[in-house]
Amino acid sequence: MLTPMILGQVTQQQAIHAEVVSVSDGDTLTIRNTRGQNIVIKLGCIDAPERNQPGGKESAQRLSTLLPKGVTVIFKPFGDKDQYGRTLGFVGRGAQFINLELVQKGQAWFYEKENSRCQGFAPAFREVQATAQKQRLGVWSQANPCTPWDYRSNKCRAIRTPPPKKRTSNGNPRYSDVSIPPARLDWD
């Protein structure tokens, strides 16, 4: 399996040992380093559904299950922050490479936009995403999964089931299946 090999490469330099404080959503958590400082982390190279997006609650729950409060993790920052002030990087727990595992389980997408930051791991992310998609795991079980970046830009089209057609009496659309016959005017 790719995970132990990749995690070993990720944690060799600039690793921060920390404790999980909380999980905010499917790709964001807060850790506390050994100096007692809290750091808000955005898992790099991936993008998980927003909480109010289909699959968002499940993705956040999966991350909470993988990284419950108080567990020790290894964090390797990319050295920069995103537009929300979150520190980007990789997170590992034991032999688990959390960023990759979320994509592998269908709980997040590989974020191609961050490909340059992914330190050569893009092929592994693409491979596990393709497998999750084929197996219809997580977000891939949806009829029309929408990427989080498209969701945030309101570019997703919801698949709507058309409302059932009202049945009509005598082929006249103005009359429903009500048993009241149409009124007749008697001129006599």
Phi-psi region of 120 (alpha: psi -120 to 50; beta: other; left: phi over 0): left
Asked if residue 65 is part of any domain, the answer here is: yes
Q: Reduced to 3 states, what is the DSSP secondary structure of residue 139?
A: helix
How long is the chain? 188
Q: For the chain, how many structural domains are there in total?
A: 1
In a domain, 103, yes or no: yes
Torsion of the alpha carbons at 150, 157, 129 and 6, rounded to the nearest 10: 20
Q: How far apart are CA 103 and CA 116, in angstroms?
A: 18
Q: Does residue 74 lie in a domain region? A: yes
Q: Is the pTM of this model over 0.85?
A: no
Biggest CA pair distance of the chain = 100
SS (H, E, C) 24-57: EECCEEEEEECCCCEEEEEECCEECCCCCCCCHH
Q: Which domain holds residue 31?
A: 2-152
Q: In this predicted structure, what is the pLDDT of residue 162? A: 46
- Residue 176: the pLDDT is 46
163 in a structural domain: no
Q: ∠ CA(36), CA(30), CA(94), 5° rounding? A: 90
Per the domain annotation, does 178 fall within a domain? no
pLDDT of residue 80: 78
Residue 115 inside a domain? The answer is yes
User: Which residue type sits at 128?
Assistant: V
Residue 188 lies in a domain: no
Per-residue pLDDT tens digits of the chain, which is 188 residues long? 444 445 555 545 578 899 999 999 999 999 999 999 999 999 999 999 998 899 899 999 999 999 999 999 999 998 778 889 999 999 999 989 999 999 999 999 999 887 777 878 999 999 999 999 999 999 999 998 989 888 988 888 754 444 455 555 555 555 444 444 444 433 34
